[in-house]
Structure 1
Amino acid sequence: MTDARARLDELRTETLDRLAALRSEHRAVVDASRDSNADDEHDPEGATIAFERAQVDALARDAVERLASVDAALARLSEGTYGICAVCGRAIAPGRLEARPTATTCVGC
């Protein structure tokens, strides 16, 4: 399970970096809109500021959820339950854990 811990730690670091970048991008969009009096809602040339802000918000929420799933997987690893299906109690296939390190269920469940 050492490989699993290393992979989960790497995934956690990547997710934290992504979240920090998204939060910075969100601040930039908000700051840009604060100083602008442009009528972006009727601009046919591109996405609105509101759309951009909503898109960044959605990506940030996804990153927060991913971070929670990584932290939960790390907790299962520490408890000795990592790789055990939460539904049927059987082992989760190594290939599934390789593809999806935060998986809580086997392919069958």
Structure 2
Amino acid sequence: MSDKCINAAFSAPQGESVRALLAADRVGTLQQISALGREFEGIVEANALVAIDDEHDPEGASTAFERAHVAALLSQAREHLNDLDRALERLERGDYGRCEQCGEPIPLERLEVRPAAKTCVRCASVAR
């Protein structure tokens, strides 16, 4: 990839490089979803076997908090997977690397850190 902003049109090697990066991130995210799913199921199963008093847990952390924390991480991972799938779709359509808000190119540095980014830094900061 060049050291300028990525345009909507990629050379074949650039497109394959981006595709490989997104695919690798997707594989890692699927593994994370699987691990978090097993962890969540383990928490639920463990709680079903014993009467838990969350407010008086001797270890200090409530099982309800643990369950909610893992559920939130699982939700974030699923959302990231959806973002990666949408990025792959944008790549196929030829508009990957363009901000969905303003249409300007997304800087390469942002895409290297967040390959599924759909907005430039300026538009992302306004949306918050």
Q: Normalising by the residue count of structure 1, what TM-score does the alignment of the two structures yield? A: 0.93
Return the offset for 1:44.
Answer: 4.3
Tell which has more relative contact order, 1 or 2 (C-alpha 8 A, sep 6+): 2
Q: 1:69 and 2:83 equivalent?
A: yes
Pair 35,2 (structure 1): closer, same or farther in 2 beyond 3 Å: same
The equivalent residue for 1:55 is 69
The residue that corresponds to 2:102 in the other structure is 88
- Post-superposition Cα deviations, 1:21-74, rounded to whole Å, max 9, x if no partner, equal 000000100110111124232124321111111111000000011011001000
Percent same amino acid among aligned pairs? Answer: 49
Give the number of equivalent residue pairs.
Answer: 109
Q: Which amino acid aligns with 2:56?
A: H
Q: Displacement of 1:100 after TM fit? A: 0.9
Separation in 1 of the partners of 2:64 and 2:46? 11
CA change 1:92–1:43 in 2 (3 A) is same
**Any unmatched runs of 5+ in structure 2?**
1-14, 124-128
Q: Distance in 2 between matches of 1:72 and 1:5?
A: 12
Alpha-carbon distance in structure 1 between the residues aligned to 2:76 and 2:49: 28
Structure 2 length normalisation: TM-score?
A: 0.80
